[in-house]
Amino acid sequence: MQLHLHQTHHTIGDFNGVFDYIQDQAPIKSGLHLFPELFLTGYPLLDLCLQKGFIEKVLDLHKKLDTWAKQNLAKNDAMLLMGGLDYKFDDQGLPADIYNVIWAVDGNGMKRVYAKKLLPNYDIFDEEKYFTPGEDPGLLEWNDKRIGLLICEDMWHSTHHIQDPVKELWQSNPDLDLVVNLSASPYHLGKCEKRLARGREISHLFKAPFAYVNRVGGEDEILFDGDSFLTDGDGIIWRGKMWQEDSNTIELDQVATKSYLPLNAPSTIANTWESLFTPDLELASKPAQLSTLSEEKLDELTHALIFGLREYASKCRFKSYLVAVSGGIDSALVLALAKLAMLPDQTIEAVYMPGFYSASESYDFSAQLCDNLDVPMRHLPIKFTHSSLRNQFQDIFGQELTGLSDENIQSRLRGMLLYTRSNQNNAMVINTSNKSELAVGYSTQYGDSVGAISLLGDLYKTEVFALSNHINRRFNHLIPSGIIDRPPSAELREGQTDQQSLPPYERLDAILEGLLSYRMSVKELHNYGFDLEEVVKVHNLWQNSEYKRRQFCPIIKVKAKSFGFGYRVPICKK
Amino acid sequence: MQLHLHQTHHTIGDFNGVFDYIQDQAPIKSGLHLFPELFLTGYPLLDLCLQKGFIEKVLDLHKKLDTWAKQNLAKNDAMLLMGGLDYKFDDQGLPADIYNVIWAVDGNGMKRVYAKKLLPNYDIFDEEKYFTPGEDPGLLEWNDKRIGLLICEDMWHSTHHIQDPVKELWQSNPDLDLVVNLSASPYHLGKCEKRLARGREISHLFKAPFAYVNRVGGEDEILFDGDSFLTDGDGIIWRGKMWQEDSNTIELDQVATKSYLPLNAPSTIANTWESLFTPDLELASKPAQLSTLSEEKLDELTHALIFGLREYASKCRFKSYLVAVSGGIDSALVLALAKLAMLPDQTIEAVYMPGFYSASESYDFSAQLCDNLDVPMRHLPIKFTHSSLRNQFQDIFGQELTGLSDENIQSRLRGMLLYTRSNQNNAMVINTSNKSELAVGYSTQYGDSVGAISLLGDLYKTEVFALSNHINRRFNHLIPSGIIDRPPSAELREGQTDQQSLPPYERLDAILEGLLSYRMSVKELHNYGFDLEEVVKVHNLWQNSEYKRRQFCPIIKVKAKSFGFGYRVPICKK
């Protein structure tokens, strides 16, 4: 039997694109075709799947597909397994139950053969809000083959779920010829190896090949990396590319000849969601330290960020990027990544907006960076406007602009000018904040925190340094070393540096990772070797800056635990 | 037996405040004391309940309370039923199960007697993300009384839930002396009557009094109105005040003497969540129309908005309000409500920021409004800065500011100036957008959409008019009639009016309510009598403006279906 793995790439709700993809496969090759979870609709849908306009389109596609299948597959020995939705309506026509299912499409039309059992409902996942769990056995018998069916989360089990679909499948069907998992699995750094390890384990358990088909795409903040695979336990028969559509055809009968490990029951290796969700703190050091990112991980990160940026721009139909450069490292890395992400039909522009407190080397570094990257740099000083607004405030309110109000106005002036330029040339503003700043509220609302999307909002400042150095190693020193070496500063007052307000970034980032990913208490962090006063300070900055994060732009998610949709905390609390 | 109903008002995580409240009741009166759902912790907690620092504080409070109870309640014949959390930890000390429970506190200390069965997980609710459903029978026998226990959602049943705790309780205990429901029930307009109707029904069913104890508070966007009650089926023995702490003591034995309706099984009156969640469209009219708000509803709305604003300001520790007035109706209503909300120790300021296209009557109306309200108005023209930035853009980019870029810069200049002033006098900026604008993206990001909190973001423009007229009837014409009568305009270009870009608000608002609350499709709305082209236009404006709403401030929620936390839609989709 031929096995066709389709690692597809479609926007949410792209019903025409999905149908075209299927038609483009004509003539349909015989054998078993696998498509990702919710291939027909996209994922995550959230409230979209409840909107009747969306439901009408889903049902239209099903009708079209059913007719197409009866006309085109009747003479083929082909079976298409596609992720999609199955709606059950109440007597008022409202969706009573929505199932996340596998549709089997062949010459007889469309038929539901499986519904997802484990509905992830933690972190970014809200599936129990929308979907009803399935109870189908998960076995498809086709052409003398016995095929086990799973959808995404079904292959994991954890304290989040009582059920264990892999175990159940194995207990009732220890003799399968193939186990398949249709997935829409959100990416984070290092997740791929864990999926593969778990896939191998399942293959060993069933003594049968395991096919994992994942989607590709960037949906707002969430990335889907693809990286589908077929494994026979030890070997990787095929592995789909990351970050792009990919497909392959494999003769299954030539695969299933390997010797499998004598596993008699599912082990616990890599089969809990918690093990998938590893935070990055080395607790043995005193104080605890953020893990160092390997070159491979930094490569992976570069590709993930570039993909995420391209996706968001293309889905919002932007042909231009706009970045405010300051001579600091965050904006330098953003500009370098945006330049690397740029497609031939796209343009990019940098705007340098010096104020009274901008050092002269900030200009030099910015100019050198733009020169290295071959990006046009516009010079739009804010001094004159700042000065005239200072006078206006003094005149009207009888109060000088000082302290925070004088700092913030510079940042907001820049935000305003940047967006005016963005209106003028229809360019997408890329935000330049990093995760450390975001976590402690070290930014100005409507100022440096503006943007359509945040590229570095899931990277701590120390990781911004690591990635900048990595980019420089890979791409011949794009970022001037002066930018990397100078002490970080917002340049909003005379002689300002980040370290006047914050602990050194190595410690700050480790404390933040403890608070955010491990959800540690102040007491615990103190036990891991941090100064109590410092932890309390960071903890309070974090707790009191929720209002800024609430109005922040979507952040490209590259870590297991990120700010954004999966991070839900009240603004007001004691 | 004496029944003490405590309708309490505490911020999330105010563990000291909660303990003080209990201690302040000393000496504890004999009888049964009822406190709201999650009285001990606050609600909604979201990820807070997973943070170890928060958990430590919860466990500390439990320990303190247990000791206090043993010392102070041993000689009283008192039983305190309090909502709180019950944590079960795994062997790594991580929370494995969290229950939303009723703690029975008496001379023996604290004991869990019930855990919530129905966990709401729709719209703003995420309880299945955090909590494990309970399986306790829900019966407390105390001092010869048989008391039925419910927590909030448990009293409703719907297609969202398979279980029906009221029915189960009644089937196993048809002979109760009292049924209690500890609640943390988010407010929306008109919800009170439905709670009461359902409470009466439960009382009739059990032929026993029904006590409903709800919390009071504003938690970011969500309001809790209180409005607790004790009913004997027909009568209302006590009803707690809305929007404030309240409590009462009732001799239960004098209550339970009424004759009850011969109900032999739970009926279906008002006992589904869907019936609670009524959208506001009159579908019989052609085209469908938004329901008119009665004077009572407008009064309720006024109080709700004032309460919500006060709560947010007090929890963020603001002593001043700041409102940008434009001479238009939205900012006029916001200023009037803010003035009504102002406490004796608070201040308020209006800022009028005219540009090239501001009509002279915009100044006159603004001045008259501020005069009526006795609010100081500052006059901060943007013309000079706008003009000089026009020149700067022309010089630097060789491109005039025209069209959208010239419109948006004015709005953003105002946003920036407003926030500079807010920094200067530490005042809370109240956003002035309405639900209609928000729905179609008729606002400037980082411009008129700035603010700490949105007061009118859950009111359609036609409702803004209705409420303004209502305020004028109630409070001697605070808002100049000229503001109400003039055609709405953003005044960002010559001769601009809202109606150049949008359908008349009566139709726009009805279409939006169809799309948002009923989730109707374009086709359905057309069937309800709207012009197809107009519906398509509104639908597309709504679908394409998601990115603006994503970065919007919290909106005080006063309707069943609102933008904000309970509205979750991808930004990018086809």
pLDDT of the residue at B261: 62
Domain end point (choices B461, B479, B499): B499
Q: Look at residue B551 and tell me if it is in a domain.
A: no
A315 and B CB contact within 8 Å:
yes
Mean pLDDT over all residues of chain A? 94
Q: How many CA atoms lie within 13 A of A481 on its CB side?
A: 3
Q: Return residues 421-440 of A near B (CB < 8 Å).
A: 421, 423-425
Domain end point (choices A248, A276, A304): A276
* CA–CA gap between residue B302 and residue B309 (Å, rounded): 11
Q: Look at residue B264 and tell me if it is in a domain.
A: yes
> Is A389–B420 a contact, with Cβ atoms under 8 angstroms apart?
yes
A563 and B CB contact within 8 Å:
no
Q: Per-residue pLDDT for A277 more than 80?
A: no
Whether residues A351 and A440 share a domain: the answer is: yes
pLDDT of the residue at A58: 98
**Which residue out of B277, B433, B539, B551 would a mutagenesis test of the A interface target, given it has the greatest number of A Cβ atoms within 10 Å?**
B551
Give the pLDDT band (50/70/90) at residue A269: very low
Shortest Cα distance, chain A CAs vs residue B138, angstroms = 24
Q: A433-487, pLDDT tens digit by residue?
A: 999 999 999 999 999 999 999 999 999 999 999 999 999 999 989 999 999 999 9
> Is A159–B96 a contact, with Cβ atoms under 8 angstroms apart?
yes
A309 and B CB contact within 8 Å:
no
Give the pLDDT band (50/70/90) at residue A93: confident
Q: Name the pairing type of β-strands B31-34 and B78-89.
A: parallel
A60 and B CB contact within 8 Å:
no
pLDDT of the residue at B76: 84
Q: Return residues 123-152 of B near A (CB < 8 Å).
A: 126, 128-129
> What does the pLDDT average to over A85-93?
91
pLDDT of the residue at B335: 98
3-state percent breakdown (helix, strand, coil) of chain B, nearest 5: 40, 20, 40
> Is B405–A389 a contact, with Cβ atoms under 8 angstroms apart?
no
Q: Look at residue A558 and tell me if it is in a domain.
A: no
Whether residues A380 and A263 share a domain: the answer is: no
Whether residues A341 and A441 share a domain: the answer is: yes
Q: A43-66, pLDDT tens digit by residue?
A: 999 999 999 999 999 999 999 999
Q: Return residues 542-561 of A near B (CB < 8 Å).
A: 547, 550-554
Q: Which amino acid is at B35?
A: F
- Burial tier of A114 (Cβ tally within 10 Å: 0-12, 13-18, 19+): buried
As a whole number of Å, the CA-based R_g of chain B is 26
**Among partner residues A13, A420, A551, which is closest to B551 by beta-carbon distance?**
A551
pTM: 0.96
A21 and B CB contact within 8 Å:
no
Q: Look at residue B562 and tell me if it is in a domain.
A: no
DSSP secondary structure letter of residue B98: E
Residues contacting residue A52 through CB under 8 Å, at least 6 positions apart: B519, B520, B521, B524
Whether residues B100 and B248 share a domain: the answer is: yes
Q: Look at residue B446 and tell me if it is in a domain.
A: yes
In chain A, what residues touch B379 (CB-CB under 8 Å)?
Answer: 396
Choice among B117, B145, B152, B491 that is catalytic = B152
B51 and A CB contact within 8 Å:
yes
Whether residues B467 and B352 share a domain: the answer is: yes
A90 and B CB contact within 8 Å:
yes
pLDDT of the residue at A525: 96
**Which residue out of B420, B522, B563 would a mutagenesis test of the A interface target, given it has the greatest number of A Cβ atoms within 10 Å?**
B420
pLDDT of the residue at A278: 65
**Share above pLDDT 70 across residues of chain A, in percent, rounded to a whole number:** 95
- Burial tier of B428 (Cβ tally within 10 Å: 0-12, 13-18, 19+): buried
Whether residues B266 and B314 share a domain: the answer is: no
Whether residues B305 and B247 share a domain: the answer is: no
Give the C-alpha distances (Å, rounded to integers) separating B507 from B275, B436, B513.
25, 11, 10
Whether residues B251 and B300 share a domain: the answer is: no
Residues contacting residue B187 through CB under 8 Å, at least 6 positions apart: B222, B223, B224, B225, B304, B557, B558
∠ Cα A516 A519 A521 (to 5°): 115
Q: Look at residue A523 and tell me if it is in a domain.
A: no
The CATH number of the domain where B171 resides is what? 3.60.110.10
Q: A288-303, pLDDT tens digit by residue?
A: 999 999 999 999 999 9
Whether residues A314 and A263 share a domain: the answer is: no
Low-confidence residues of chain B: pLDDT under 50: 268-271
A380 and B CB contact within 8 Å:
yes
Q: Look at residue B372 and tell me if it is in a domain.
A: yes
- The helix (run of H) or strand (run of E) holding residue B198 is helix B191-206
Q: Look at residue A520 and tell me if it is in a domain.
A: no
Indicate the Cα dihedral angle A20, A24, A30, A33, nearest 10°: -50
pLDDT of the residue at B94: 86
Among chain A residues, the shortest Cα distance to B54 is held by A521
pLDDT of the residue at B265: 53
In chain B, what residues touch A312 (CB-CB under 8 Å)?
Answer: 572
> Is B553–A553 a contact, with Cβ atoms under 8 angstroms apart?
no
pLDDT of the residue at B199: 93
Whether residues B314 and B236 share a domain: the answer is: no
Q: A184-215, pLDDT tens digit by residue?
A: 999 999 899 889 989 998 998 999 999 999 99
Higher-pLDDT residue of B227 and A263 is B227
> Is B379–A389 a contact, with Cβ atoms under 8 angstroms apart?
no
Domain end point (choices A480, A498, A516): A498
In chain A, what residues touch B128 (CB-CB under 8 Å)?
Answer: 121, 128-129
- Decide if B127 is catalytic: no
Give the pLDDT band (50/70/90) at residue A255: confident
> Residue A370 is encoded by which pair of tokens?
């733009």
**Among partner residues A48, A392, A445, which is closest to B573 by beta-carbon distance?**
A48
Whether residues A305 and A264 share a domain: the answer is: no
- Decide if A152 is catalytic: yes
Higher-pLDDT residue of A100 and B271 is A100
Choice among A117, A145, A152, A153 that is catalytic = A152
> Residue B327 is encoded by which pair of tokens?
């001479």
Which residue range(s) make up the domain with A171?
A: 2-276
Choice among A116, A145, A461, A557 that is catalytic = A116
Is the four-CA dihedral B516, B522, B525, B529 of positive or negative sign? positive
- Least Cα distance to A524 among A539, A543, A502, A509 occurs for A539
Q: Do B190 and B297 touch, CB atoms closer than 8 A?
A: yes
pLDDT of the residue at B380: 97
As a whole number of Å, the CA-based R_g of chain A is 26
Is the four-CA dihedral B263, B35, B311, A438 of positive or negative sign? negative
* Predicted complex ipTM exceeds 0.90: yes
Q: B291-325, pLDDT tens digit by residue?
A: 999 999 999 999 999 999 999 999 999 999 999 99
* CA–CA gap between residue B335 and residue B432 (Å, rounded): 9
Choice among A37, A153, A491, A534 that is catalytic = A37
Structurally, chain B folds into a number of domains equal to 2
Whether residues B173 and B246 share a domain: the answer is: yes
In chain A, what residues touch B397 (CB-CB under 8 Å)?
Answer: 378, 421, 424-425
Q: A129-148, pLDDT tens digit by residue?
A: 999 999 999 999 999 999 99
A396 and B CB contact within 8 Å:
yes
Q: Do B166 and B205 touch, CB atoms closer than 8 A?
A: yes
A569 and B CB contact within 8 Å:
yes
* CA–CA gap between residue A234 and residue A250 (Å, rounded): 17
Give the C-alpha distances (Å, rounded to integers) separating A513 from A278, A543, B89, B563.
11, 14, 22, 31
Q: Per-residue pLDDT for A270 more than 80?
A: no
Q: Per-residue pLDDT for A232 more than 60?
A: yes
> What does the pLDDT average to over A91-107?
93
A316 and B CB contact within 8 Å:
yes
- Decide if B116 is catalytic: yes
> What does the pLDDT average to over A492-500?
93
**Among partner residues B47, B56, B392, which is closest to A567 by beta-carbon distance?**
B47
B368 and A CB contact within 8 Å:
no
∠ Cα A140 A142 A145 (to 5°): 90
